[in-house]
Structure 1
Amino acid sequence: MASLPAPVEGLVVRYEYLWAREHDAGRVSSKDRPACVMVVSSMQAGTGARRVYLAPITHSEPAPGTPALALPADEKRRLGLDDLPSWLILSEVNVDIWPEGLANAQGAENGVYGRLSHPLYRQAAERLAAEVRAGTVRRIPRP
């Protein structure tokens, strides 16, 4: 994989997202998913590596009560994603070290699609923060 940009909040990437249900079933890897968005990054103490928290983007409509944000068609088009309805799921995140787990994406340079618009990212971040405060976000550690 060619060099990647530094991880920044709102970056949409091709990623091997491991769903909580897969993790609970004992899986440690997964196939690459259409796209994920990095919602938080921080330095990992003593290593200089970047710890990232990635929320999945899925075509599957979330179950009632699942915290999620529908992605507008114009946002998906700008990022080069397909035209099918998609949701950013805010009930779980993968915790990984950048750029581990990134996958080559068709149509995405270096596995990167681009960034969510600032208003959409802010809305997602505020909703995710509320879920974190409520203690409802599953954090799935990745090796």
Structure 2
Amino acid sequence: MTIEPPETGLVVRYSFLWSREHDGGEREGRKDRPVCLVIPLDVSEGAVVVFPITTQEPLPGRNAVAIPDTERRRLKLPGDRPCWLMLDEANSDVMPGSYHLVPIETRPPRFAYGRFSPAFMRVVLRTLSRLIRSRQVRIVERER
């Protein structure tokens, strides 16, 4: 089984737990989806923060970055609809080794779609920095 080392911009398939689900007592995500690993917190421990990718247009008041079609196509993200990287909520976890990580393919096992480009990640990190300073990011810590 090959799991890529956690790096900023890596996009993997993951069972993301939204904060509203967590607040309702759920402990598992309802849907496996691509997520972007944006912040490796502690490389030696594998602690990371992942942000969900969705095809649903964000509601007013939510904070997200539109994923350019070129990025979506290059990574072969599922579907052909526009995608957004939600930046106002995240999951903290440990990778590799998280049982919330889901293979994209099973033979051979593959977990990563690839990495977002450095240019797109600069936009993401600039936006995320502003949201963190204004305390607009909610992080759900996943059970390990």
For normalisation by structure 2, the TM-score amounts to 0.90
Structure 2: gaps of 5 or more residues: none
Long gaps (5+) in structure 1: none
Give the 3-state SS of the residue equivalent to 2:2 in structure 1: coil
User: Conserved in 2, the CA contact under 8 Å of 1:14 and 1:102?
Assistant: yes
Alignment RMSD: 1.7
Distance 1:38 1:131 in 2: 16
Normalised by the size of structure 1, how large is the TM-score?
0.91
2:85 is aligned with 1:88 = yes
Cα 1:106/1:3, change in 2 over 3 Å: closer
Residue 5 of structure 2: aligned partner: 6
Residue 137 of structure 1: aligned partner: 137
Matched residue, 2:57: 61
Identity %, equivalent residues = 37
Q: CA deviation at 1:72?
A: 1.1
Matched, 1:125 2:133: no
C-alpha contact 1:14 1:32 (8 A) present in aligned 2:
no
Report the 3-state secondary structure (helix = DSSP H, G, I; strand = E; otherwise coil) of the residue aligned with 2:136: coil
How far residue 31 of structure 1 moved from its aligned partner, in angstroms, is 3.5
Higher strand fraction (1 or 2): 2
- In the TM superposition, what is the alpha-carbon distance from 1:34 to its structure 2 partner? 2.5
1:24 counterpart residue number: 23
Q: CA deviation at 1:42?
A: 2.5
Query: For 1:16, what is the secondary structure of its paired residue?
Result: strand
- 1:126 is displaced (CA, Å) by 1.1
Q: Could you give the per-residue CA deviations for residues 87-106 of structure 1, whole angstroms, max 9, x where no partner exists?
A: 00010110001121110114
Tell me by how many angstroms 1:65 deviates: 2.0
State the SS of the aligned residue for 1:93. Answer: strand
1:109 CA drift (Å): 6.0
1:37 has 2:36 as partner: yes
